Every structure is written in C-alpha cells, then in structure tokens.
Structure 1
Amino acid sequence: MATESIIVIGAGPVGSFTALAAAQAGYKVHLLEASNEVNTDPRAATFHPSTLEMLDSLGIMDEFIALGLVARYFDYWDKPARKRVAQMDHQVLEGETRFPFVVQTEQHKLANLILEKLTNYPNATVHMGTSATAFIQHADTVALTAVGPEGTLDLKADWLIGADGGRSFVRKSLGIDFEGYTWPERFLVLTSLHDFEASLGCAYRGYFADPGGWTNLFKVAGDDFKGRWRAVFPVPEAETDEEALSDDSVARRLGPAAGRS
C-alpha cells in the first residue's frame, strides 16, 4: 500500500479529509487546490455525530472541537409568536454514538486544520494555487498535468479523486453528467455579532417557522472566537440582490429575529 499513490483535487473539507486519511494509510498523496488559500465564505457549519466519528478516526477531534462550539440542543420556534415550540436534545443518542451532540465550526477551520496536519506526513504534498489542466487514464495509472506556482506539474498516480465541487473539472473531463436541476429558491445569509441567545433565549441552532418568511439561526465561534450568529432567510423571487442586501432589508429581517419590533 505504501507504494500506491493518490491525487486529490480540491482542498475543501471532503478533499482535505480524504488526503489526510490516505496519507495516514500510507499512500503517497498529492493534494491540489486551485485557490491560494482555503475558501472562507460562509458555508454549512454543523457537523453531526456520524461526521464527528469520521473526524475522530483521523485523530483530530480534540483540536477540531476547540475550533468551534458544542451544541447539545436545537430549537423549533413559532416566529410570529416569538415562542419556542420544542427543544430537541442530542443526548438521547448517548449509547448510539460517542458524540451525542453536534459541533458548529466553520468549514475553512476544518480544512486548514487538516492541511496543517498534512505537513507532518513526508508522503503527502499540498499544492495550493495549482489547477489541474488535463489528465489521461491509462490501464493502471492516471497521468495529470497541472499549473501553479511551481510551474507545470506532471504527476502520475494509481488513483485520481475529484473533490472539486459542483463544477468539478474531473467530472466534466470524464463526461459525467450532473443530473437534476437548480431549485428556484434563493436564500440570504446574514452574519451578526448580536447575541440571539441573550435576546431570545434560543439554543445555538434554531428554526423559526413563519408563513410570512421563516428564519434559521446558527451560532459559530468566528475566527476571533467572539461568536457570530448566522441568520438565514428566504428571498422572494421578485426581490433583487441589491434589495435583499440593502440596509433596510437587513434591518427588516434581523430586527424581528432579534426580538425587536
């Protein structure tokens, strides 16, 4: 196994996890990321018990938990009445999983943690700012060409793994269709320093039902660990991006969510 090699394209959570797992198993690993650094845009940030067990298999759970927030509970609310309808407790999963809770951590923190770990493996190389341009599948190997700060790279491996997102270069190069369709719904994600736990008494995860427009609230630690709340709102089809992102729109949406009229 130590003589086999793997190329992973994409250093997001999936690609970086795969690269570290392969390096720990003894494979020679090349991890390629087109950007110069990990994407820090707000993405889904709730890691559920099954995912935590996967991360624990890499031996990084303590460090991962330290990067975020442990959330045992999540709430369902009647938004117009500002009333909590139910609170769910992950602790009921005790005995079914070692992790009867979720961890709320920004995805880029996980990816950066794993990239740091990869530097400890002599059989793993990370190529940031490096884009794959072509690859050829032979009978028992894959030959890949990439361009980055190191110039043109010609790599050969036993396996090529595409973890490069919905617009995947690997998928398109193989002629694999991305079946399905794009849903017409749009969502607005606002990040706020307002303490919704203090103003509403809500858990770190809250789902607010409202016929006039639901709201979801999630707390993350933030890079400075001062805490950030992400508020998610539906955006009507007729509302433009400029209108949705305006100061009036933010005040109108966040005000009621924060318990203000």
Structure 2
Amino acid sequence: MNTNGNVTGSKPIVSGFGKLFIATVEDKGGVGKSVICDLLHAGFSQHELKVGLIDIDGSNSVGCMQHADAIFADTSDEGWQAMISKEIRDMPLPGGLDVLILDTGARDGERFQAELPGFASRMARVGGRMLVIRPVTTNIFTHERAAQFAADTQNTNVAVVTMEVRAQGRTEKHFQKWRNSENYKAAIAAGAVPTYVKNLGIEFMDDAVACQLSIGDIAGENFGKPTAHKRSRELFDDTSVVWAQDMIEEQMTIWLPAFMEALKKRENGNG
C-alpha cells in the first residue's frame, strides 16, 4: 500500500478522524462506486495518510486496474472476509493503514451487510470507525435501499452517508425528487448524512481507466508507472493535471464535514 504526498498545497484538515474503514455499497451497477473510491484514495493519500483499497467487484475490477497496490478479494471464495480483517487487524501496527477503502460490485450489498457487524466490531477493537457510503441516483430503488440501510444500521456505531451521484447527465436539480421523498426523510431520521459527488466527466474517466491511471496518478503526474499506457501524457496535459488536483481538493472539502457529522451521529451506537 502506498502513500502519495501533497500535490496541491493547502488541503482540508483531516485531523480527528482516527482510523477509518470506508465502504461504498449499492447493488445497482454503474452508479460511480469505483469513481468515489478513487477520489477517496487520492484525497486521503494527499494528506500523507496510508491508504489501502480492497476491490470485491469481480465483474468490473476498476480499482485493481487503476491502483497497482489494490487488493482483489473474490467473494465467491470462502474466507474472502479474512483479507479485509487482516488489514483492519494490522492498522495499529507500524506501517498499518490509516484509511481502508472497500469498492463493492453490483449485488454485493447483501453479502457485505452480513459481514458488517464483524467489520465494525474489529474496527472498534483497533480504535477506529466504520463508515458506509450509499450512492443514490435518480433511480428510486437506490433511494429505497439507502433508506433501508440507514434504518438497518440505526443504533449501531456504523456511520452512513448518502451520496448523490451528480454525473452522467445528472445535476443537482435531478435530485429534488429524492430530497422531497419519504425515503430521504427516513434516511436522515435514522442518522444518515447527505452529500454528493461531482461530475468528473465521462471522457476523462474513460481515458483514465483505459490508461490504468487513478485520479491521484493524474494529479501527481505519475504517468511513468509500469502499468500506465504509453500515451497517458499525451491524453492528460497540464490542464488535465491541474483540473484533477482541484477536483480532489474540492471533493474532499465537500465530503470531510459530512463524514465527520455522520461519525458523530452514530457515536456510541446513537442513530
């Protein structure tokens, strides 16, 4: 697992979080789970924190394509949970992770939720916390699942964030129906905290995945890594680099207060 240094200068403050295990979970595919995880990896890494990524999306393992140090855990194999538990166990040790990120695939929700109490308990034992991001689109089923997950985890110490995916043609106005819905109200009442992910651009992300580059690679001009496509620098000029740097900083500025609020709301099992 690697650590990237600051590339954009001033950064939002991440003190007060402690050890974190962040999972992005939604049974629908194509909702930006891997993009969210990529931004999380870049954002926390730039604070000189040690960040690890585990990818359990067997059908479309974008995390492993973009991050050479990512670990793939095949959920069809018995004992896949042990790979995650080991990273949690090692967090307090020298060289252990500060932040562990889990990228899940479509239809992994039920499997993940069955293991959630164990993961949360292990995080508590190392003095850390568990935070789950539920991406929502304009699809009502993502709304229902987010609200149900918030209710299912109420009265636990698992923090929950609902995240509007303002991408693929969706803008803030497209989420008015979600914000006026009973599902939204139920999620908030159960202790979930709302936030959003900005649009990184379809062409930008398609090129990044094709070149096997993370947004952190682009922001840090890491075009010479062994797995990067030879045309990477041609596709991502200086303007693209600065844009990636600004996007990471802006997104973390949006997310960190929401994460802190969610963790406080579920402190000591309060929902």
The structure number with the bigger radius of gyration is: 1
Q: Name the TM-score class by shorter chain.
A: under 0.3
- Which of the two has greater strand per residue? 1
1 or 2, which has the higher helix percentage?
2
Query: Normalising by structure 1, what TM-score?
Result: 0.27
